[in-house]
Structure 1
Amino acid sequence: MNASIQYLNPAEAARRLGVSAKALRLYEQRGLVVPVRTSAGWRAYGPDEMARAGEIAALRALGLSLAQVARALAGDPQGLAPALAAHQSSLEGQVRQLAATLEKVGGLRADLAKGQVPTSAALADLLGSGPSLAFDLPWPWGGERFELNAIRPLTYITGPLGCGKTRLALAIAEALPGAAFLDLERAADGAAAARARRAGDPVLKARIDQALAWLVEDGAQDSDALIALLVGLETEGPTALVVDMVEQGLDEATQEAVIAHLRRRGPGARPLFLMTRSCAILDLAALGPDEAVLFCPANHSPPIQVAPYPGAPGYEALASCLASPEVRARTEGMRATRPDAA
Structure 2
Amino acid sequence: MPSVNRLLHPSEAAKRLGVSAKALRLYEQRGLVEPGRTEAGWRAYGQEEMDRAAEIVALRALGLSLAQVKRVLEGDSQGLEPTLAAHQAALEAQLRQLARTVEKVRGLRSDLMQGRAPTVDELMNLQAPLREVRVAFELPWPWGGELFELRDIRSLNYIIGPLGSGKTRLAHSLAEALPNAAMLALERLEDDGVTAAKSRMDSDPILKSRVDEAISWLVEDGANSSDALVVLLAGLEADGPDALVVDMIEQGLDHATQEALIAWLRRRGANARPLFMLTRSCAILDLSAVGPDETIILCPANHSPPMQVAPYPGAPGYEAVATCLASPEVRARTAGVVAWRPSSGRLQSLTP
| TM-score where L is the length of structure 2 | 0.90
CA apart distance, 1:10: 0.7
Greater CA drift, 213-222 or 38-47: 38-47
Task: Identify the residue that residue 101 of structure 1 maps to in structure 2.
Answer: 101
**Stretch moving more, 253-262 or 288-297:** 288-297
Q: Which residue of 2 aligns with 1:286?
A: 289
Within 5 Å, give how 1:111-130 maps onto structure 2.
111-128=111-128
- 1:145 pairs with one of 132, 144, 147: 147
SS at match of 1:181: strand
Aligned partner (choices 259, 267, 270) of residue 267 of structure 1: 270
Other structure's SS at 2:286 match: coil
Q: Indicate the residue corresponding to 1:246 in structure 2.
A: 249
- Report what 2:178 is aligned to: 176
Equivalent position amino acid for 1:30 in 2: R
How far apart in 2 are the matches of 1:52 and 1:152?
31
Relative distance call for 1:116 and 1:270 in structure 2 (3 A) is: same
Q: Does the 8 Å CA contact 1:94/1:268 hold for their aligned counterparts? A: no
Deviation per CA, 1:173-194: give whole Å up to 9, x if none: 1111111000001122211221
AA in 2 matched with 1:59: L
Aligned residues: 338
Once the two structures are TM-superposed, the CA of residue 115 in structure 1 deviates from its matched residue by 4.7
Which amino acid counterpart does residue 177 of structure 1 have in structure 2?
P
In the alignment, structure 1 residue 313 sits paired with structure 2 residue 316: yes
Letter in 1 for 2:19: V
Distance in 1 of aligned mates of 2:32 and 2:141: 49
Kindly indicate whether the alpha-carbon contact (under 8 Å) linking 1:35 and 1:49 is maintained by their aligned counterparts in 2: yes
C-alpha distance in 2 between matches for 1:100 and 1:233: 29
1:159 is the counterpart of 2:193: no
Trace 1:321-332 onto structure 2 (pairs within 5 A): 321-332=324-335
CA positional deviation for 1:334: 3.3
Quote the residue 1:132 is aligned against: 134
- Give distance in 1, aligned partners of 2:253 and 2:238: 20
Question: Alignment partner of 2:25: what SS?
Answer: helix
Aligned with residue 202 of structure 1, among 201, 205, 212: 205
C-alpha displacement of 1:20: 0.3
CA pair 219-164 structure 1, distance change in 2 beyond 3 A? same
Query: What is the match of residue 90 of structure 1?
Result: 90
Which residue pairs with 1:227 in the alignment? 230
SS at match of 2:240: coil
1:334 to 323, 332, 337: 337
Q: Conserved in 2, the CA contact under 8 Å of 1:152 and 1:271?
A: yes
Alignment of 1:69 with 2:69, yes or no, is yes
Partner of 1:212: 215
Farther off after superposition, 26-35 or 76-85: 76-85
After superposing the two structures, state which structure 1 stretch, 328-337 or 304-313, moved more.
328-337
C-alpha displacement at 1:119, in angstroms? 4.1
Q: Which residue of 177, 186, 189 maps to 1:187?
A: 189
Deviations 1:34-53 (A, max 9, x none): 11111211111111111111
Decide whether aligned partners of structure 1 residues 128 and 57 sit closer, same or farther in structure 2, where only a CA change above 3 A counts. same
Aligned twin of 1:46? 46
Distance 2:147 2:341 in 1: 24
Moved more, 286-295 or 190-199: 190-199
- 2:70 and 2:39 map into 1 onto residues whose CA distance is 29
Paired amino acid for 2:85: A
Deviates more, 1:125-134 or 1:17-26: 125-134
Q: Once the 2 structures are TM-superposed, how far is the Cα of residue 117 of structure 1 from its aligned partner? A: 4.7
Instruction: Note the C-alpha offset of 1:121.
Output: 3.6
Aligned equivalents of 2:37, 2:99: Cα separation in 1: 50
* TM-score relative to the length of structure 1: 0.93
Q: Tell me the C-alpha RMSD between the 2 structures.
A: 2.3
Provide Cα deviations, 1:144-198, integer angstroms capped at 9, x if missing partner: 1111122111111111111111111111111111110000011222112212222
Q: For 1:28, give the aligned amino acid.
A: E
Identity %: 69
Unaligned 5+ runs, structure 1: none
How far the C-alpha of 1:137 sits from its partner, in A, is 1.3
Between the aligned partners of 2:340 and 2:197, the Cα distance in structure 1 is 31
